[in-house]
Amino acid sequence: MAFVYYNPNPLGKSVGDCVVRALSKLLDESWFDIYTELCYRGSLAADMPSSNAVWSAYLRNLGYSKHSIPDTCPDCYTIRDFCRDYPEGTYLVAIGDHVVTVVDGDYYDAWDSGNEIPISYYCRGE
């Protein structure tokens, strides 16, 4: 389980587009394709493309389901712990106002978010 730097933003920006970056990794699509899809879906919903309602509906439409992380230790369970507990598979993990993609126990982000506290995750087929 390790942090892997991942930033597909064509200008190298890493503020405000975390959901686009995370979905790009999760779905193996370009930053532009994800951004365009979320903008389209956001316009249909009259909502911002980065809103939780827009991107979570997009994932559900693709067959992903949302799972809550029990808060038995709400201040001590981290992204690193999630990676340890889920060493296989691909997940989009929500951290309040941020999301990160986990693939086979490694977390992909534009910064080391390993100490952040996850609240839920999405995976396909469960």
Q: What is the pLDDT of residue 73?
A: 76
Summarize pLDDT for 18-68 with one digit per residue, the tens.
999 999 999 999 999 999 999 999 999 999 999 999 999 999 999 999 999
Strands (E), the chain: 3-5, 64-68, 90-94, 99-103, 106-109, 120-124
Q: What is the pLDDT of residue 126?
A: 60
Q: Note down the domain range covering 23.
A: 3-124
Query: Is the confidence at residue 1, as pLDDT, over 80?
Result: no
Quote the number of domains for the chain.
Answer: 1
Summarize pLDDT for 101-124 with one digit per residue, the tens.
999 999 999 999 999 999 999 999
Q: What is the pLDDT of residue 70?
A: 83
Stated pTM of the model: 0.94
